[in-house]
């Protein structure tokens, strides 16, 4: 079972969530998170922003918890010569956000729903993305402490090695999807997803921050 908790990461990005203030996703060069079965590296597999654009353009901003109960952001999984993959999310818990990931589809302005995610490209204009269905993709937390939005210590060394003086909300929660089949018939492909950041009435606009890692691996 120990070997099954090892992961070769294809792509890793780091996102800081700051309530009510702009937050940006960017490449975290030379960093990886090891969790599950060792796999062969894919020919191509990577995370994109909307419109198949660089993940450097993936922006998570303007989270105002006094306006609604969630905010959606779009991202893509791109690649070639891949049939299945898994998405992994790891995050700290200073802010009691909850996260859901949905399959998404690109739609025209006339087709879009009232909840469509808007992605503005600097070069190509505005794009719209709607959820494909009402249910999030299936998956599970690997180290959640019961029903609490807190991590237990089972994967502590994956985040901090042997360092032990870690505040409980800085202990990362690791979530991993079940296997996902490529939807896009093109090769190279690009499948779109919407990540939903949710909160309840106890969350307030403040200066707390959380680190979120979004990764993908070939299945």
pLDDT tens digits for range 142-173: 999 988 899 999 999 988 999 999 999 999 99
Q: How far apart are CA 32 and CA 34, in angstroms?
A: 7
Instruction: Report the predicted TM-score, pTM, of the whole model to 2 decimal places.
Output: 0.80
Nearest to 10 by CA among 161, 150, 158, 214: 214
**pLDDT at site 207:** 78
pLDDT for position 117: 97
45 token code pair: 């597999």
CA nearest 129: which of 144, 143, 148, 109? 109
Residue (of 194, 202, 169, 210) closest to 65 by Cα position: 202
pLDDT reported for residue 46: 94
Instruction: Please check whether residue 43 is in contact with residue 169, taking contact to mean a CB–CB distance below 8 angstroms.
Output: no
> Which range, 21-30, 155-164, 202-211, has the best average confidence (pLDDT)?
155-164
pLDDT in tens, 38-64: 445 546 899 999 999 999 898 887 889
What does DSSP say about strands 180-181 and 84-91: parallel, antiparallel, or unpaired? antiparallel
């Amino acid at each position: 079972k120990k070997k099954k908790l090892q992961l070769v990461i294809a792509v890793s990005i780091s996102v800081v969530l700051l309530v009510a203030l702009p937050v940006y996703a960017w490449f975290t060069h030379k960093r990886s998170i090891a969790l599950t079965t060792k796999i062969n590296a894919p020919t191509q597999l990577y995370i994109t922003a909307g419109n198949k654009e660089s993940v450097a353009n993936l922006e998570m901003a303007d989270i105002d918890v006094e306006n609604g109960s969630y905010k959606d952001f779009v991202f893509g999984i791109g690649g070639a010569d891949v049939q299945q993959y898994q998405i992994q999310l790891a995050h700290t818990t200073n802010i009691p956000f909850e996260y859901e990931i949905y399959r998404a589809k690109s739609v025209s302005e006339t087709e879009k729903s009232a909840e469509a995610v808007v992605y503005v490209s600097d070069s190509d204009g505005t794009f719209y993305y709607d959820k494909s269905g009402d249910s999030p993709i299936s998956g599970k937390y690997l180290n959640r402490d019961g029903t609490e939005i807190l991590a237990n210590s089972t994967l502590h060394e994956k985040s901090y090695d042997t360092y032990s003086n870690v505040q409980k909300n800085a202990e990362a929660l690791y979530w991993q999807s079940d296997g996902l089949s490529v939807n896009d018939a093109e090769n190279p492909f690009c499948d779109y997803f919407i990540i939903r950041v949710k909160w309840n009435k106890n969350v307030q606009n403040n200066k707390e921050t959380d680190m979120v890692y979004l990764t993908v691996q070939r299945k």
